[in-house]
Amino acid sequence: MNDFWSGVGVDLHLEPDSGDGRRAGLERALRDAVRDGRLAPGTRLPATRRLTAELGISRGTAKAAYDQLVAEGYLTARQGSGTRVAELPSVRDEQPNVPARARVPRFDLRPGSPDVGTFPAAAWLRALRRAIATAPSLAYDYGDPRGRIELRTALSGSLGRARGVIAPPERIVITSGYVQGLALLTRVLDGGEIAMEDPGLPFHREVVRHNGGTVVPVPVDARGARPERLGDSRAVVVTPAHQYPTGVTLHPERRRALTDWARARGGLIVEDDYDGEFRYDRQPVGALQGMAPGQVVYLGTASKTLGPALRLGWMVLPPHLVDAVADAKLHSDHHTESIGQLALAELIDSHAYDRHVRACRLRYRRRRDQLLDQLGTQRGVRGIAAGLHALVEVDDEAEVLARAQAEGLAVGCLGEHWHAPGDGRPQGLVVGYGTPRERVYPEALEVLGKVLRGAGGQGPRCAGRVGPSEGPSQDP
């Protein structure tokens, strides 16, 4: 028995019912395992002599069961490659009335994701090898809920240099991304009113509500969020570098007013710096946190610079929140996985991360310029000085979205970002230019131009201004 388990190559958990005979019971058990997916297509089954040793049946019985299921199409058998599970028709093929999954669009210009095809695989692999080669053995054990000190130290220098963030390592907590950071803060604040930009990302509002907070809208205009509308909120979540989805940058006067509100009221500013690295026509606007490190929680991630799959983010906290957030992190998932943290720290320390960000900035600027070339110089194109998306204002959002769907084009829409629907609100498309592959991007832009021109040949028109006419260097 021990020899069987050490050499079989695959664990085959079967409990044949021999009530109708051993062969029939084995056939039924294997058939059910294939049907319900426990045995995936392509799985190589044990040789009959090993199966007989495990199940206590004759080799002839095992071979007969295999032959029957080969005949029925559940298994395949080839000389030299053994017996394997066959590819079966999908459930949808067998049940044509089951609704089909949504079609994948021909062209995807939805916002929210970077070009993951630019992930620096070779640099990451080198960083991973160096990190593993030098990591202490304790790196593979349970760790500090705040995260590995190597990454916190690397981020301390990087954020200070590139974003103007005051970030001592002891005030940094590593997370699995922005969503976890927002959830942890909401729990630490124990609910209460949390102001969030209007318009803003609906899912982030859901995260706050799911974790016990009450969301109140704070309007956004051409200068960003309006601090005078914060009311009795305990905290406010803002995207100062490049507001999502309008694309405006928080005006310097608003920055001062926001930090003054936080100091006077004991309020907390949550800064979502989701794409602060990507500014195309001048140096990036520094993080708000540098103006008031005792009142601002800075949240950043590797999702837009490297890729969402890494699940690595960071919080830079005021001193009075560090212990509470670390405790909430401990009781959430104990700590973020360590090996990726070590690799990212190595990537930052070797300056490979900076080189990658600079290369991406050039790539995305070219894409931004291609978008503007296609759409022309209409005043209805906003948010173009930074980030991975632009806002294109239109008169009738529903009509344009219907034309886009007919052309196989997926884009975001401004309407889904308001806290509450209402007549008279500006309408527009939120166009992301990070996702498409290089070879299909020009065609995607041509389709977008066609959709916006519509039957009447008109380009995008301004139905009500969300932000100023934003040329390459007009952002405050």
Write the pLDDT tens digit of every residue in 345-377: 999 999 999 999 999 999 999 999 999 998 876
Q: Are 86 and 408 in contact (CB under 8 A)?
A: no
By the 8 A CB rule, do 111 and 432 touch? yes
Exposure string of 254-273, with b = 16+ CB inside 10 Å and e = fewer, is bbebbbebbeeeebbbbbbb
Q: What is the mean pLDDT of the chain?
A: 87
Sign (positive or negative) of CA dihedral 454, 248, 193, 328: positive
Q: Which residue's structure tokens are 């005792």? A: 294
- pLDDT score, position 89: 66
Per-residue pLDDT, 461: 41
Q: Domains of the chain by range and CATH?
A: 2-94 (1.10.10.10), 119-353 (3.40.640.10), 355-453 (3.90.1150.10)
In the block, residue with structure tokens 């983010």: 313
With a pLDDT cut of 70, the percent of the chain lying above it is: 88
pLDDT of residue 13: 67
Residue 263 has pLDDT above 70, yes or no: yes
CB 307 within 8 A of CB 170: no
pLDDT tens profile 381-396? 888 999 999 999 899 9
pLDDT above 90 for 17: no
Reported as a pLDDT band with limits 50, 70 and 90, residue 12 is low
Q: Determine the length of the chain.
A: 476
- Provide, for the chain, the percentages of residues in helix, strand and coil under a 3-state DSSP scheme, each rounded to the nearest 5: 45, 15, 40
- Who contacts 408 (Cβ-Cβ below 8 Å, separation ≥6)? 105, 106, 107, 447
Percent residues over pLDDT 90 in the chain: 65
pLDDT band at residue 103 using 50, 70 and 90 as cut-offs: low
Q: Would you list the DSSP string of 56-100?
A: T--HHHHHHHHHHHHHHTSEEEETTTEEEEPP---HHHH-TTSPP
- Residues 387-423 have pLDDT tens digits of 999 999 899 999 999 999 999 999 999 999 999 977 7
- What's the average model confidence in pLDDT over 305-318? 96
- pLDDT tens digits, 129-144: 999 999 999 999 999 9
Quick check: 180 pLDDT over 60? yes
Token digits of residue 321:
């929140």
3-state secondary structure of 310: helix
**Taking the C-alpha atoms of 357, 362, 366 and 369 in order, what is their torsion angle to the nearest 10 degrees?**
90
User: Which tens digit of pLDDT belongs to each residue from 141-179?
Assistant: 999 999 999 999 999 999 999 999 999 999 999 999 999
The confidence band for 4, taking pLDDT boundaries of 50, 70 and 90, is very low
pLDDT at 95: 46
Number of Cβ within 10 Å of residue 395's Cβ equals: 16
Provide the 3-class DSSP secondary structure of residue 424: coil
Contact 171, 297 (CB under 8 A): no
